[in-house]
Amino acid sequence: MSVMSEFIKGIYKENPVFRLALGLCPVLAVSTSISNAIGMGAATTFVLLSSNIIVSLLMLLFSKILSEGGQKSINKIRIPMFIVVIASFVTIVEMVMSAYFPVLSESLGIFIPLIVVNCIILGRAEGYASKNPLIPSIADAIGMGIGFTLALVAIAFVRELLGSGALLGQNIMSSNFKPVLLMILPPGAFLVIGLYLALLNWLDLRKKES
């Protein structure tokens, strides 16, 4: 049950984008189309999951083989260690993407290497995986990853639909629909996320009142 709740919390209650306002840069930058959003979400989830696993295992290993003093001193270098782990997985994603998904890799551009500074990943590694056993860490990573991906897709849905009159690259609007170019330009990203946040605030306020 508790594993399930670790998994669920990332999707709505502690959604990294809408609730915690973390990892905003890639969310705004690549949400021009749903396929970009899914690609970015999958890449981030992969890095999140792998680094949570490694960090959780590393800390378990240290707690088994080191004395208490040793653990204390290893704690001082845990952040740089986590950064190395995360950066390695990001590099793996970078290489695999440009080798097997060249189109996606080109459209996500520098936001692939920048996954390394996505606050969600270091935040989860440091704040959750380093203090919890393996299975909950996996659940946490997958939940957060899916929450991040859903937020990205939610924003991309509005932007792609209004900005290019399409969903997943398929034209679905009638032929006399004029795309609202602003939506796929940078301002569209700011406006859409602002309105989403306002909507969530409004829902919360209504819940509180009733």
Partner 1 sequence: MNNIIRLSMVLTIVTVVAAFVLAEIYSVTKPQIELQKLAKTREALHFVLPDAQHMSAITRKVPVRDGDGVTLYEKEEIMFYEAFSDPDSQRLRGYAFKAEGSGYSSIIETMVGIDTAGVIQNIKIISQKETPGLGALAEDSDPFTGKKWSTQQFIGKTINDLKVDKDGGEIVSITGATITSRTITNSIRDELKTLLPQIAPPQDQPVEED
Partner 2 sequence: MEYGIFQIIILSIFINNFVLARFLGLCPYMGVSKQLDSAIGMGMAVTFVMTIASLVTWLLYTFFLAPTYQNIFYTLFSTPIQNVPDLTFLRTIVFILVIASLVQFIEMYIQKVSPTLYRALGIYLPLITTNCAILGVAVLNIDLFFADGLPRDSSFIHTLVQAFSAGIGFTLVLVLMAGIREKLELANIPKPLQGLPIAFIVAGLMSIAFLGFSGMNIE
Closer of 122 and 146 to partner 2 (Cβ): 122
Segment (H or E) for 191? helix 186-209
191 binds partner 2 (CB under 8 A): yes
Q: Is 165 in the site for partner 2 (CB under 8 A)?
A: no
Q: Backbone dihedral region of 22: left (phi > 0), alpha (psi from -120 to 50 degrees) or beta?
A: beta
Closer CB to partner 2, residue 161 or residue 193? 193
Q: What angle do CA 24, 27, 29 make, to 5 degrees?
A: 105
What CA–CA distance (Å, rounded) separates 68 from 79? Answer: 19
63 binds partner 1 (CB under 8 A): no
SS3 of residue 116 by DSSP: helix
**Which one among 17, 116, 142, 154 touches partner 2, defined by CB under 8 A?**
116
Binding site for partner 1 (CB under 8 A): 29-30, 32-33, 36, 73-74, 76-77, 80-81, 84-85, 87-88, 91-92, 95-96, 98-100, 102, 106-107, 109-110, 159, 163-164, 178-179, 181, 184-186
